[in-house]
């Protein structure tokens, strides 16, 4: 090597490896051992420019190890390979999904729900094949929708209520629809953290799902998720929804029994949504009726009962009433379950239960048509190319909103019949 040229890695390995030391006086020449360091100090060919001035630079070296690093021997049997191969999950067929769902395999059920929630076209086709195959096993579970103002204790109530149902011998699935940010398009999906005991129970299945900005937080994907849970053998499906008032009409269209959770002293806050949510509810539940709040809860229950006299019942031949409960003390949960069972038995006897299910199925068909046409329109290449110009014309005042719609629909029709 020439002076001031850095050695190559191979040249360093051939000499020896490593730890730099400095000593007083002149360092030994290259290849000459220094007795004071037991023959391990050498003068290298290359040294930093500043070290040339006082000639005190030296290094202590150790032989390197081939094929490994950090001084570990390649022959060590207990060491894992330096690079582990990526283990890919097995790609499941329709038969694999169906078999797993029917056997109650929660891992495969989760993968099937992920398939349903996916926006991938191939995943959509596979998901529909799975749903069609498990359809004969659906429709036997009781579907209960639960909504309420933020802070009403919906998640705490669901955990207490779900544990009670499991103790009674039922299998419970919870579909917790989480609000989706209109800015970031993300959801926290943290509902399971507030249902610690229910999450750990083998007879419970909790699935948080993003609302995705759909009305009420529930759309086709949530409905199909519910069908998969029914096919997996869950007896009761609890749907916790985004509590935002008028949009909860969507929840009413997918459940048998609809429950509104309210708080004491919340009359003023609920004033704006009474006409919307209260006329959809089969039961109004005043939560947190315990301790010092019990008396206020009983008063609130009476107030809601009086309000309900002026509202048309949500379900034909059923009288909606208010109830009190405490998710902490468990008081009132048994009474509420008795009410739901009475509602179900009465509805099946008078035919209202079956009629509602049939109406829901037809509504689902129409909603899916709306979704399909929406995607067909906005994914059209010609529309995507023309949309920017039309929108700019509306913003500049050159075209009215109605004219913009006619323009785009006309462009869409022409593109379809070319």
Q: Are 40 and 61 in contact (CB under 8 A)?
A: yes
Could you read off the pLDDT tens digit of each residue along the chain, which spans 418 residues?
Answer: 445 556 565 554 555 444 444 444 444 444 444 444 444 555 667 777 766 666 666 665 555 555 555 545 555 445 555 566 666 778 899 999 999 999 999 999 999 999 988 878 889 899 999 999 999 999 999 999 998 877 788 888 999 999 999 999 999 999 987 654 444 344 444 455 567 788 888 999 998 876 554 543 355 788 899 999 999 999 999 998 765 544 577 778 889 999 999 888 655 444 444 556 788 899 999 999 998 999 999 998 998 888 888 888 899 999 999 999 998 999 999 999 999 999 999 999 999 999 999 999 998 888 888 888 988 999 999 999 999 999 999 999 999 999 999 999 999 998 877 6
| Report field, pTM of the whole predicted structure over 0.85 | no
pLDDT of residue 6: 60
CB-based contacts of 100, cutoff 8 Å, min separation 6: 92, 107, 108, 109, 112
d(CA 165, CA 28): 84
For the chain, how far is it from start to end, CA to CA, in angstroms?
75
Q: Are 49 and 43 in contact (CB under 8 A)?
A: no
Q: Which string of b and e fits 164-197 if b means at least 16 CB within 10 Å?
A: bbbeeebbbbbbbbbbbeeeeeebeeebeeebee
d(CA 211, CA 196): 22
């Amino acid at each position: 090597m020439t002076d001031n040229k850095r050695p190559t890695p191979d040249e360093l390995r051939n000499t020896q490896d490593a730890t730099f030391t400095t000593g007083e006086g002149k360092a030994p020449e290259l290849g000459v051992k220094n007795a004071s360091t037991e023959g391990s100090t050498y003068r290298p060919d290359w040294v930093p420019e500043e070290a040339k001035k006082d000639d005190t630079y030296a290094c202590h070296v150790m032989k390197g190890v081939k094929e490994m690093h950090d001084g570990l021997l390649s022959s060590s049997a207990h060491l894992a390979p330096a690079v582990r191969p990526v283990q890919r999950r097995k790609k499941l067929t329709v038969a694999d999904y169906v078999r797993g769902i029917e056997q109650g395999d929660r891992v495969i059920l989760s993968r099937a729900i992920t398939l349903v929630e996916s926006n991938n076209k191939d995943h959509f086709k596979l998901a529909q094949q799975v749903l069609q195959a498990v359809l004969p096993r659906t429709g036997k579970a009781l579907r209960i929708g639960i909504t309420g103002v933020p802070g009403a204790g919906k998640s705490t109530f669901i955990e207490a209520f779900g544990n009670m149902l499991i103790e009674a011998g039922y299998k419970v699935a919870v579909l917790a629809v989480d609000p989706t940010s209109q800015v970031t398009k993300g959801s926290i999906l943290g509902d399971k953290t507030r249902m610690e005991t229910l999450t750990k129970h083998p007879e419970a299945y909790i699935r948080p799902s993003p609302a995705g900005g759909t009305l009420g937080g529930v759309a086709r994907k949530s409905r199909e998720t519910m069908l998969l849970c029914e096919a997996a053998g869950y007896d009761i499906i609890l749907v916790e929804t985004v509590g935002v008032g008028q949009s909860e009409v969507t929840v009413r269209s997918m459940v048998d029994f609809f429950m509104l959770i309210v708080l004491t002293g919340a009359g003023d806050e609920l004033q704006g949504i009474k006409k919307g949510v209260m006329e959809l509810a089969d039961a109004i539940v005043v939560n947190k009726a315990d301790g010092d709040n019990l008396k206020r809860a009983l008063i609130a229950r009476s107030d809601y009962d009086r309000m309900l006299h002026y509202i048309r019942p949500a379900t034909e031949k059923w009288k909606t009433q208010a109830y009190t409960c405490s998710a902490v003390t468990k008081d009132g949960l048994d009474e509420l379950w008795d009410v739901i069972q009475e509602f179900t038995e009465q509805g099946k006897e008078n035919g209202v239960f079956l009629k509602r299910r049939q109406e829901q199925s037809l509504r689902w068909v129409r909603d899916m048509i709306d979704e399909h046409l929406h995607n067909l329109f906005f994914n059209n290449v010609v529309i995507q190319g023309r949309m920017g110009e039309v929108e700019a014309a509306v913003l500049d005042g050159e075209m009215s909103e109605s004219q913009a719609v006619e323009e785009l629909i006309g462009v869409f029709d022409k593109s379809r019949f070319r």
